[in-house]
Amino acid sequence: MPRESWMGLMESRTPAATAARDEPWLEVTGSPDLAAWLARQEVSLAFTTYQTGKLFLLGCGPTGGLSVLERTFNRAMGLWTDGRAMWLSTAYQLWRFENLLAPGVLHEGHDRCYVPLVGHTTGDLDIHDVAVDGDGRVVFVATGFGCLATLSDRASFTPLWRPPFLSGLVAEDRCHLNGLALVDGRPRYVTAVSRSDVVDGWRDRRRDGGVVLEVPDGRVVAEGLSMPHSPRWHGDRLWLHNSGTGEFGFIDPRGGRFEPVAFCPGYLRGLAFVGDHAVVGLSRSREAKTFGGLALEAELARRDTEARCGLLVIDTRTGAVAHWLRVEGLVRELYDVGVLPGVRRPMVLGFKTDEIQRTIAVGPEGVL
């Protein structure tokens, strides 16, 4: 059965750009059964890349193959979605997207149309993970300040919590706090690359300084990790990436040990679940000061392979890769992954074409 491929240009739905380029800027190739698996699970996927500033939506096309749509958002990073709404962090803003299509309505074959309705200007906080808690409040990791935060009506952001080892709330990215996991709708676990309390100090502890902390008491749940990312609570387990070793796994609650489930050929960031399957994001190597010198490099060499960019769908019961997506071309790094439940073929509007000017949804009439 052939693999499914998709090739795109710098802005989807821009025919003039097609003639201006001989080669696609991006090629997306999926494993043979990926589209059928998405259809059976009744889900679509979203993923981000800050390197080229894109939000991607992956679903099933009208003929049963993959449908891939991308839009440009400057430094697209943290992503949260429940299928109806999405939150996306960008270079200095946090955007809330809403689906404007009524149930059962299609627009050009798409069953969801996500529109960036509200943008909050936060300044450059280097926002990583984003989540919505049980009260409907958006909570995010302001990595530049090393804290959990939420939005403010009268300020750039409202700090909510910071690790006890940080002596101050300053924009120095001391420990590289990056990941957030909710449990029962409340922030419960975070990941940090180190416990450093000096400016940019985390870079010195990339190999073994990583920790998982419990919120709000700041207790160290696990330590000795290598650049941990993307903690997620699923099936009564805390799952995460030990990104510096290329391992996806979970924390053993009895002893705080990281238990690897699968080695993945790339730098891991982004994690979402579809039943017993984990969807993980892979990145290729970046500059040596961030990715170089990690155990991941040696393990890739031992396995006679190279880091790749894309997604893996991993069976959490066995560690086997059930499906995969390769992203090649200008995109080398991904950050976050989200699952859109009940969605077959989504689309999203950006700001580089006039679609957003012409898309209007009228709400119910109000009362003066």
The CATH number of residue 226's host domain is 2.120.10.30
Q: What is the longest distance spanned by two Cα atoms in the chain?
A: 70
Could you tell me if 228 and 191 are in contact, meaning their C-beta atoms sit under 8 angstroms apart? yes
Give pLDDT, residue 252.
83
List alpha helices for the chain, DSSP H: 15-20, 34-41, 288-291, 295-302, 355-358
| Cα–Cα distance list, 226 to 8, 127, 222, 315, 316 (Å) | 35, 20, 11, 23, 21
Evaluate whether residue 78 is within a structural domain.
yes
Contact 222, 279 (CB under 8 A): no
Tens-digit pLDDT profile for residues 106-118: 999 999 999 999 9
| 56 confidence band (pLDDT: 50, 70, 90) | very high
DSSP letters, 85-105, are EEEEE-SSEEEEEEE-SPTT-
Question: What residues contact residue 59 under an 8 Å CB cut-off, 6+ apart?
Answer: 38, 44, 45, 66, 67, 340, 343, 344, 345, 346
pTM here is 0.93
Which structural domain range is residue 90 located in?
Answer: 4-60+71-355
Number of structural domains in the chain: 1
Q: Tell me, what amino acid is at 8?
A: G
DSSP label of 52: T
- 188 assigned to some structural domain: yes
The pairing of beta strand 138-142 with beta strand 337-341: unpaired
Residue 12: per-residue pLDDT = 33
- Confirm whether 94 is domain-assigned: yes
Average pLDDT across the chain, whole number? 92
Residue 360 belongs to a domain: no
Q: To the nearest 10°, report the CA torsion of 69, 94, 172, 267.
A: -20
Is 362 part of a structural domain of the chain? no
Question: What pLDDT does 340 receive?
Answer: 98
* Both tokens assigned to 252: 């053993």
Q: Which of 98-102, 115-119, 252-256 has the lowest mean pLDDT?
A: 252-256
- The percentage of residues in the chain with a pLDDT greater than 70, rounded to a whole number, is 92
pLDDT confidence bin for 17, thresholds 50/70/90: very low
Question: pLDDT of 167-226, one tens digit each?
Answer: 999 999 999 999 999 999 999 999 999 999 999 999 999 999 999 999 999 999 999 999
In a domain, 162, yes or no: yes
Q: Report if residue 365 sits inside a domain.
A: no
Residue 197: inside a domain: yes
